[in-house]
Amino acid sequence: MNLLMAGGNNDALLQIYFERVHPNAPILQRAQFISGYEQRTFSPFLLQSMLANVVPYASELLIQDAGYSDRATAQRSFFLKAKRLYDFGHEKSQLRLLQGCIMLSSLSFSYSVEYDFHFWFNNAVRIATQMGLHRDFTIEVTPNLERTLLRRIWWVLYYRDKTLVVSKLQNLQRIHDSDFDTAPLNMADFEPEDDDGLVHSVLSKSTNIHKLYLVHACQIAVMISRFLSLLPRGIKEFDLQAAQCLEADLLRWRTTLPTELRADIVYEWSAANVWILVLAGISYRFQSLLYRALVEQYRVQNHDLSALHALNKQEAAMFELGTILRRIVLHDLIQVCPLSLLTCISTLLALRIEMALKPDISPNRKLRLQPQMYEDLEHLKECSRFWASLKWPVKMFEVVLARNDLTWNPAQSSVRQPPTDQTVPTSMHNGQFVSHTAGQDNHALSTHDPLLADGLDASFYEDRDTESWLRELLSCGFAV
């Protein structure tokens, strides 16, 4: 098995890893890895896992120079090499197994039912708890550098757990707050910059923005965990007081952000400071979902004025999220953003569709939503160029929009007739969608349905319940 590529391609890909992937998941001791890499004593399993993570961030030219025709082929190759090394039991170090499993859990695709990202993430949580990372006293008795590494690893796992659930890539939390007492992540848990072992061509400087980003992202993850615990059995058992306390904590978190993480004082965006936008994006997605839950609860209690107030707050949070995503697109930074931010586009689009399908929405409001939904879908399509796992939600959203007469063509006249009584959308709140307009025959449906337009067979079309998929995307573990 060829584990090293010819020329400087390994160095180029590893440089991208430490620039793009490591800030979001600093689960390596960089000096230790570089020492092993230079002496060729590195872990092959770990290296292949790292390379598989790099692919979405690498240019097509670099992928081709490395000997692969496209990103999908390259990522499949690296993934399968890592899987074989895992299957053969090549890696003996528990720590390296943990690090590699975390890396492979970030690949939201599967070449094997048994080895999808759920397998790797569950395996990582299992190994971490076996090592005692969920107990602070276990971490505290280790040497300083290892202690800070283990704490970073635990909180990266925790953050990923909450991100997977809120993105609806995972149904249940794997890490519960009552099951661990690991101290919160802080700035002292990162590697010192004056370490002589950190001088190497593939390493980029770890900045204060990188460190502050992850510390505050983990704080958001803790609030997401509180959010997910509010409603384990349905909207009627929602703890309204706890949700209001959570809202206050989130607003306090936002107003006390350090200066380095404030987006309003940045005038030039780049890969170096994009983490400010990533943090803002995940926080506004969470805020949008929190207010959505509050809207539903106020409606159950017939508090119409409070529901309207919460709805306005939800739309304001969605507006901020949309602005962040547009800023990222404007500055051509999509490819440098982690998947955790890009999945925010799916959430935002699903929320807009839900609003457009409310039975009481005005025709003008619905028309205003359509170009916004078009923009979200275009952003998601752009992301799918780099992340193959996003191609499926793109297709599903196209189907949902087409079946509910929500598509928008910017080339058409800006003047469009409002919906007639023949096309009456029903709300997800009421549990159903319009599958097509009244009187529409099967031929017309097949002409405009993206699933059929792509030549997919009838069994594919019938097996996919796109409306249920959209509801699940927004549920985040909540029964709505």
- Choose one of 127, 143, 159: the last residue of a domain: 143
Q: What pLDDT score was predicted for residue 328?
A: 97
Question: What is the rounded distance in angstroms from the CA atom of residue 123 to the CA atom of residue 87?
Answer: 13
Average pLDDT over residues 178-198: 83
Q: d(Cα 229, Cα 310) in Å, to the nearest integer?
A: 20
Mean pLDDT of 129-148: 93
The residue-averaged pLDDT of 381-404 equals: 91
Confidence of residue 198 (pLDDT cuts 50, 70, 90): low
Distance of CA 402 to the CA centre of its chain: 25
Check pLDDT > 50 for residue 441: no
3-class SS of residue 92:
coil
- Cβ atoms 6, 65 nearer than 8 A: no
Residue 315 within any structural domain of the chain? no
Is the pLDDT at 146 greater than 60, yes or no?
yes
With a cut of 70, say whether residue 185 has pLDDT above it.
yes
Backbone angles phi, psi at 439, to 5 degrees: 80, 5
Q: What percent of the chain has pLDDT over 90?
A: 63
Last residue within a domain, chosen from 102, 117, 143: 143
Q: Report the alpha-carbon distance of residue 399 to residue 257 in Å, rounded.
A: 40
* pLDDT at residue 102 is higher than 90: yes
Query: What pTM, to 2 d.p., does this model score?
Result: 0.85
Please report whether residue 128 resides in a domain: yes
What is the pLDDT confidence band of residue 415, given thresholds at 50, 70 and 90?
A: very low
- Tell the burial category of 347 from Cβ atoms under 10 Å away from its Cβ (0-12, 13-18, 19+): buried
User: How far is the C-alpha of 333 from the C-alpha of 275, rounded, in Å?
Assistant: 11
Mean confidence (pLDDT) of the chain: 84
Token pair of 281 as six digits: 């994006």
pLDDT at 436 over 60: no
Is residue 245, in this structure, part of any structural domain at all? no
C-alpha to C-alpha distance for 408 and 450, rounded to whole angstroms: 14
Q: Which residue has the tokens 């990266």?
A: 156
Residue 37 lies in a domain: yes
How much is the average pLDDT of 131-153? 93
* Structural tokens at position 153: 């690893």
Of all residues in the chain, what percent carry a pLDDT higher than 70? 80
DSSP H/E element including 257:
none
Q: Is residue 321 part of a domain?
A: no
The answer to whether 46 and 99 have CB atoms below 8 angstroms apart is yes
pLDDT 10s digits, 238-284:
788 899 999 999 999 999 999 999 999 999 999 999 999 999 999 99
List CB contacts of 239: < 8 A, sequence separation 6 or more.
230, 231
What DSSP line would sit under 119-140, residue for residue? HHHHHHHHHHHHTTTTSHHHHH
Highest mean pLDDT among 110-114, 285-289, 339-343, 454-458: 285-289
The reply to whether 98 falls in a domain is yes
| Cβ atoms of residues 217 and 276 within 8 Å | no
400 pLDDT above the threshold of 60: yes
C-beta of residue 249 within 8 angstroms of C-beta of residue 243: no
Backbone angles phi, psi at 157, to 5 degrees: -60, -45
Alpha carbon distance 414, 5 (integer Å)? 53
C-alpha distance from residue 54 to each of 2, 101, 180 (Å): 18, 15, 31
Residue 224, classified by CB atoms within 10 Å of its CB into exposed (0-12), middle (13-18) or buried (19+), is buried
Residue 89 burial class via C-beta count within 10 angstroms: exposed 0-12, middle 13-18, buried 19 and up: exposed
Confidence of residue 114 (pLDDT cuts 50, 70, 90): confident
The pLDDT of residue 465 is 59
Domain residue limits at 384: 374-413+422-480
Range 372-390 average pLDDT: 93
What is the domain count for the chain?
2
Q: Report the pLDDT value the prediction gives residue 109, as an integer from 0 to 100.
A: 62
Can you tell me whether residue 283 is helix, strand or coil?
helix
Residue 74 maps to a domain: yes
Alpha helix segments (H runs only) across 201-273: 208-228, 240-255
In whole angstroms, what is the distance from residue 136 CA to residue 181 CA? 6
> 471 lies in a domain?
yes
pLDDT at 451: 43
pLDDT at 412: 60
Confidence of residue 221 (pLDDT cuts 50, 70, 90): very high
**The two structure tokens encoding residue 327:** 């800023």
Q: What tokens does 6 get?
A: 């010819």
- Predicted pLDDT at 468: 66
Instruction: Give the integer Cα–Cα distance in Å for 390 and 334.
Output: 13
Looking at residue 397, its pLDDT comes to: 93
Other C-beta atoms lying within 10 Å of the C-beta of residue 64? 12
pLDDT tens figures, 313-339: 999 999 999 999 999 999 999 999 999
- The number of helix segments (H) and strand segments (E) in the chain equals 20, 0
The strand ranges marked E within 270-347 are none
- Residue 134 burial (10 A CB sphere; 0-12, 13-18, 19+): buried
Band of residue 168 on the pLDDT scale cut at 50, 70, 90: confident
Which of 143, 166, 195 is a domain's end point?
Answer: 143
